Amino acid sequence: MTQNASKTASFLIFTDLDGSLLEHETYSIEPAQPALAALARRGVTPIFASSKTAVEILAIQHVSGIAAPFIGENGAAVYDSTGKVLTAFGLPRKSWLNEVHQLRERMSFKFNGFSDWSIKRIAELTGLCQEDADKARIRQFTEPMLWQDTQTNFQLFLKELQKLSLTTLEGGRFFSIQGHFDKSGGMKWWQAHCSESRPFLVAVGDSPNDMSLLAAADVAVIIKSDKSHKLNPVGPATVLRTRMPGPAGWNEGIKQVLNLLDSQQLLIL
């Protein structure tokens, strides 16, 4: 049953980074600053939920003046504010990457991923500087890749991955080869372990790898992107779609959530 959230209801915000809080190409956070400041005034710190590595997320938190726990590598683990793993949902990448490469060899699948690329190549493909590309390269749980083969072979690849207890998730730039986890697992874990009362949940994302997070929230904010039309979560009582992409959209979406909350028009479960 849905209800209007009271003005003073406590809430948590889980947000994607690339293409949501961060601009897709430049990685700028600037246009989101007014909404971040409005949240800070209410004592709300956004919890980052990203496909990025812990080292990358810590660097972004540092630049944003945020120190908080976060969800890394597409929900593979929840980390504390120092980057220590609090809980892990994924098997270590080093335990399965060789098998995936053997599978590629055996079936002649055409794809390349982070483990195949130099720092320079990762920098070219992501738009990151080489120092940041190096932070992105050191992954514990996921292998982002570009598929260069047919759709039929992709389905075959997925079937073979199943035998290794692996799957893929589509992000803004890459497909991630990983275990059966997603960002919502981290959000639910966080809610169960770290909240005394039941706060309502706001999730923000722009790509299919955010779908689980958006679907499990009370309020979903879908940031406009090339892929946002694919996102149709049915779970949330409120679904907002921004007109603008990236951090400008983030600013727009969060301000809309706060306005609805203040006018007691925000529907939650």
Rule CB under 5 A: say whether 207 interacts with Mg ion. Answer: yes
Segment near Mg ion (CB under 5 A); pick from 1-9, 57-65, 166-174, 214-222: 166-174
Compute the distance between CA of residue 82 and CA of residue 31 in angstroms, rounded to an integer.
26
By CB under 5 A, how many residues form the interface with Mg ion? 6
Beta bridge partners of 85: 79
Rule CB under 5 A: say whether 172 interacts with Mg ion. Answer: yes
Given the structure tokens 């809309």, which residue do they identify? 256
Give the closest residue to 16 by CA, choosing from 64, 75, 65, 63.
Answer: 75
Q: Which residues within the stretch 31-90 sit at the binding site for Mg ion (CB under 5 A)? A: none
Q: Which residues contact 152 (CB under 8 A, 6 or more apart)?
A: none
Please state the closest distance from residue 19 (CB atom) to Mg ion, in A: 4
Contact pick of 11, 12, 13, 16 for Mg ion (by CB under 5 A): 16
Rule CB under 5 A: say whether 18 interacts with Mg ion. Answer: yes
Contact pick of 12, 15, 19, 168 for Mg ion (by CB under 5 A): 19
Contact pick of 73, 206, 218, 252 for Mg ion (by CB under 5 A): 206
Rule CB under 5 A: say whether 143 interacts with Mg ion. Answer: no
Q: Which residues contact 111 (CB under 8 A, 6 or more apart)?
A: 104, 145, 146, 147, 148, 149, 157
Beta-carbon count within 10 A of 98 CB: 10
Nearer to Mg ion, 17 or 261 (CB): 17
Segment near Mg ion (CB under 5 A); pick from 14-22, 58-66, 237-245, 260-268: 14-22
Please state the closest distance from residue 31 (CB atom) to Mg ion, in A: 15
Q: Which residues contact 184 (CB under 8 A, 6 or more apart)?
A: 75, 212, 213, 215, 216
Please state the closest distance from residue 102 (CB atom) to Mg ion, in A: 31
Residues in contact with Mg ion by CB under 5 A are: 16, 18-19, 172, 206-207
